[in-house]
Amino acid sequence: MDGAGAQGGRVPWDDLKYIFGDIMYGGHIVDDWDRRFCSAYLDSLMQDSLLDEAEMFPFIEGKNISFKSPAGLSSHEKFLEYIETELPPETPLAFAMHPNAEIDFRTTQCRNLFAQLTELQPKGSGGSSEGGGANDKVVEFISRVNDEAQLENCKFNIDDIAGKLNEETRGPYQNAFMQECECMNVLIKVIVASLVDIVLAFKGELTMSEKMENLMKDINLNKVPAGWEKFAFPSMRGLGSWLDNIKQRIEQLTVWKDDPTKVPKVTFLNRLFNPNSFMTSIKQIFSREHKIELNKTDIQTDILKKMYWEQDLPSDPKDGAYIFGF
């Protein structure tokens, strides 16, 4: 930059920030928050201290890491050499982030890598040249669903349950559990229907579609199919463990449906589609009993000093509910 571009020998930082932040790079930014982020960085860096060993990493005091702007280097090559030799190893601290941010990034990176390696494995090993081994695994899973889980027979009769309740006995807890039964029915219906289609395709009674092939691929990878995840609960489990977890959720709802006027002495919160609904029910009942506005209540969690199981619980809690799996 020649002398005419500066006023009184000073670097025109405002002009440079406008060029970098609004014209050259800023023109690609379409999100308002990203634009503010970019402007904040430029305001922090583009100033006179940049020419006098300014600290390039934000908020790193006391963290034993530093990268300062070089002072008095004469050529472009010298700047490149400085970056190569003085730049510390990559770390979230350089971006004012907590070190744990890298743990999440590396974990996600590892999962993606192993998922790709799994997908690259031969699908027909142990079977015929037509990929019978992969099909055998699908057939085995379908057999497990039909024989062990028996999902088709696990649907809840919502009308029958509602018939056991009346205006006095149907409260917030009952509404929360009814919603859980409805969600479980939808999930069971989706699982059973998609597996029936695959069986018919194997028999030649139905054309194998791309959707079915993707489902079979996920089963072979022990992965919960995306079509099922849409109607399911949040989970990071493999497919086999996920199916076992469905059975546990069904068991809890089955215990409740036999006498829906009562609530299980201990509710496994981690076996609900919508735990927040159950938590809200606790607040609703408390609000009614104590005549307090719902928006003025909050959940207080007391950890029991001893591992209580249902038969060992001394009595029903005065307010709230016993929960497990928090």
Q: Is residue 55 classed as helix, strand or coil in its secondary structure?
A: strand
State pTM to two decimals.
Answer: 0.65
CATH architecture of the domain with range 3-95: Orthogonal Bundle (1.10)
On the 0-12 / 13-18 / 19+ scale of CB atoms within 10 A, 294 is exposed
Quick one: CA dihedral 43, 46, 47, 53, positive or negative? Answer: positive
How many angstroms separate the CA atoms of 192 and 150, rounded? Answer: 10
The confidence score (pLDDT) of residue 229 equals 92
Q: How confident is the model at residue 121 (pLDDT cuts 50, 70, 90)?
A: confident
Which pLDDT does position 245 carry in this prediction? Answer: 93
pLDDT interval class at 264 (50, 70, 90): confident
- Whether residue 129 is predicted with pLDDT greater than 70 in this model: the reply is no
| pLDDT tens track for 28-64 | 888 889 888 888 889 988 988 888 888 888 888 888 8
Q: The tokens 């190569």 sit on which residue? A: 84
Statement: residue 6 has pLDDT above 60? no
What mean pLDDT, rounded, does the chain reach?
Answer: 84
Whether the Cβ atoms of residue 305 and residue 265 lie closer than 8 Å to each other: no
Task: Give the separation between CA 271 and CA 239, rounded to whole angstroms.
Answer: 16
Domain boundary assignment for the chain? 3-95, 132-324
pLDDT of residue 21: 87
